[in-house]
């Protein structure tokens, strides 16, 4: 089977930009696809800032930054992805949107062995795979934010995923991308978010009930439990809309009250206070 060298990411938000950077830094021919020209420009800026930080902090050298840019292309048309061997979907955390996109990509890809991977945080992979004609070549490849820094990738097979495809992509994530890989069964939330999101929701409920301020809740977990950041800062980083979407997927699957989005979270999402990406969440933020 041919080595994976031609890849693409669809979606140029925080996660899509980060995943594209990871792929390009690994020396892969990488296309970032996004229909919105403004989003593509923002992705370029986001990747540029991330690469400069990586150089400043000694994670890569100046030549590595130049090599990364040499492996990046930007496109606004899915047809540009026809020859890709692997496409990672990183659009909004909405099952309908993801399924429609994967169905379109299935018809565009020329190679019938090409793999469609979704970076979904919680949507069951089986539901997304059956939206295509290649369910055996659809799986979850879940990166964590910021993707160039966080070492973990969850690889998730559906009931239809070919075991050989799972093994191939697991080896690709580990050996080509240098990630630490864990496998999860196809359950909403997979491993990490099934554990993490109830913790974030508990912190939101605590703030909502007035038990403590967001600042004190976060300080308690940072200084009392040695967490690198507090739960509300982390929720802002993930994106409150994404946290709510994951919570809804978890609640739909398990019907456990601890997974239900608190009213405060839903109101903040409705108000457009989504965290770092909008500059306002539980804490004020500047674009990084």
Q: DSSP letters along 89-108, please?
A: E---S-HHHHHHHHHHHHHH
Q: Which residue has the tokens 């699957």?
A: 253
Q: What is the dihedral of CA 250, 253, 254, 258, to 10 degrees?
A: 20
CA distance 229 to 217: 11
Which one from 17, 50, 119, 121 is the annotated catalytic residue? 121
- The verdict on whether 193 is a catalytic residue reads yes
CATH number of 117's domain: 3.40.50.720
Q: Which residue has the tokens 């912190």?
A: 203
pLDDT, one tens digit per residue, over 239-272 is 999 999 999 999 999 999 999 999 999 999 999 9
Q: Is residue 285 included in any domain, yes or no? A: no
Task: Name, in order, each residue with C-beta under 8 angstroms of 209's C-beta and a sequence gap of 6 or more.
Answer: none
Structural domain span for residue 68: 6-184
Q: DSSP letters along 206-223, please?
A: HHHTTSS-HHHHHHHHHH
Residue 2 — very low, low, confident or very high, per pLDDT cuts 50/70/90?
confident
- The verdict on whether 154 is a catalytic residue reads yes
pLDDT, one tens digit per residue, over 9-40 is 999 999 999 999 999 999 999 999 999 999 99
- The verdict on whether 145 is a catalytic residue reads no
Residues 119 and 202 in one domain: no
Residues 62 and 129 in one domain: yes
Task: Return the structure tokens found at 256.
Answer: 């456990």
User: 63 or 285, which is more confident?
Assistant: 63
Q: Is residue 1 included in any domain, yes or no? A: no
Instruction: Please check the confidence at residue 155 and state whether its pLDDT lies above 60.
Output: yes
Which one from 71, 137, 142, 160 is the annotated catalytic residue? 142
Q: Is residue 22 included in any domain, yes or no? A: yes
Residues 161 and 114 in one domain: yes
CATH number of 208's domain: 1.10.1040.10
121 phi/psi in degrees, rounded to 5:
-90, -20
């Amino acid at each position: 089977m041919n080595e994976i060298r031609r890849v693409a990411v669809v979606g140029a938000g925080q996660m899509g930009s980060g995943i594209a950077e990871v792929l390009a830094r690994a020396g892969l021919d990488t296309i970032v696809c996004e229909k919105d020209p403004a989003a593509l420009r923002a992705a370029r800026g986001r990747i540029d800032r991330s690469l400069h930080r990586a150089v400043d902090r000694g994670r890569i050298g100046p030549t590595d930054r130049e090599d990364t840019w040499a492996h990046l292309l930007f496109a606004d048309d899915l047809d540009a992805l026809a020859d890709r061997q692997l496409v990672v979907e990183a659009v909004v955390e909405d099952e309908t949107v993801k399924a429609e996109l994967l169905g379109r990509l299935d018809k565009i890809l020329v190679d019938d062995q090409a793999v469609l991977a979704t970076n979904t945080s919680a949507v069951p992979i089986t539901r997304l795979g059956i939206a295509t004609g290649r369910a055996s070549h659809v799986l979850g490849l879940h990166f964590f934010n910021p993707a160039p820094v966080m070492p973990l990738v969850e690889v998730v097979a559906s009931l239809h995923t070919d075991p050989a495809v799972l093994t191939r992509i697991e080896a690709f994530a580990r050996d080509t991308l240098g990630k630490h890989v864990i496998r999860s069964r196809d359950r909403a939330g997979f491993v990490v978010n099934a554990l993490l999101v109830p913790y974030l929701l508990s912190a939101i409920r605590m703030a909502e009930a007035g038990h403590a301020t967001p600042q004190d809740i976060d300080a308690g977990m940072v200084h009392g439990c040695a967490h690198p950041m507090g739960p509300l800062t982390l929720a802002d980083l993930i994106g409150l809309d994404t946290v709510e979407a994951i919570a809804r997927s978890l609640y739909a699957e398990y019907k456990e009250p601890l997974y239900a989005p608190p009213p405060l979270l839903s109101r903040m999402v409705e108000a457009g206070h989504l965290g770092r990406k909008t500059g306002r969440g539980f804490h004020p933020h500047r674009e990084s």
